Amino acid sequence: MTLPRERISLEPAFVLHSREYRDTSRILEVFSVRHGRLTLFARGARGPKSKLASLLMPFRALLLSWSGRGDAAQLTGAEAHGETLTLPSRQVMSGFYLNELIINLTTRHDPQPQLFDDYAEALRRLATDAAAEPTLRVFEKRLLAHLGYGLEFPVDAQTYYRFRVGEGLAEVREGSPGAYSGRCLLALQDERLSDAESLEVARRLLRQALDHCLEGRELRTRTVARSMARRGNP
């Protein structure tokens, strides 16, 4: 289907990823509130004289304007939007992980305004140097819900369960391989991940569901994180 040519002005958006294009331009992967994920060509966005170079950065809330059709649209303007967030250095990898999830698991030109708000909220939490693990797990849970894999379970806190994507939960004995505590599943459901066991259960279960959605695609941020962990723990 051919998308109509359009002019968009001052659309709230974030730059998820960019790469160099020709001598002074960039190709941007953008997540916007009303137009979803799309690609924009940013001419003259590189170099010391570019007014856009310092604006078109990841994790920065922007108002973007563009003109064009589909994935051949040209960026025509950009300005900062609201408070400028700066992620602490130890949270930057977490921010890129969020970006990579959105790039790999959302559909182009599919508006996801609530997911956009969830992403902005996660960035705000990371910018305050809040613990990364609960923030990432809550965002993963909400992303899966937007993808149609909502993790709302009728569980008992005293029971243990096995989880399979597409089948849901089945009761198992305590101590069974891969068993999830009902208490921890309820903590994930209520987004109250305040203890180490609940965080570990959330990490394992969400990883199962996300790997199913990724269909074998490896996330670069996971690879980098594993490499950093090996270097830090010889």
Q: What is the pLDDT along the chain (234 residues), one digit of tens a residue?
A: 455 568 999 999 999 999 998 888 999 999 999 999 999 999 988 877 788 888 999 999 999 999 987 677 999 999 999 888 899 999 999 999 999 999 999 999 999 999 999 999 999 999 997 789 999 999 999 999 999 888 888 899 999 999 988 888 999 999 899 899 999 999 999 999 999 999 999 999 999 999 999 998 999 998 888 777 666 644
Closest CA to 16 of 37, 35, 34: 37
What predicted TM-score, i.e. pTM, was given to this entire model? 0.91
Supply the DSSP string of 106-162, one letter for each residue: S-BT---HHHHHHHHHHHHHHHTT--HHHHHHHHHHHHHHHTT--------TT-EEE
In sequence order, which residues have a C-beta less than 8 Å from that of residue 225 and are 6 or more positions away?
93, 97
SS3 for 64?
Answer: strand
* Structural domains in the chain plus CATH codes: 6-80 (2.40.50.140), 89-232 (1.20.1440.120)
CA distances from 85 to 14, 65, 96, 143, 221 (A): 12, 21, 14, 22, 21
- Alpha carbon of 118 to those of 4, 60, 100, 131, 143: distances in Å? 29, 15, 15, 17, 8
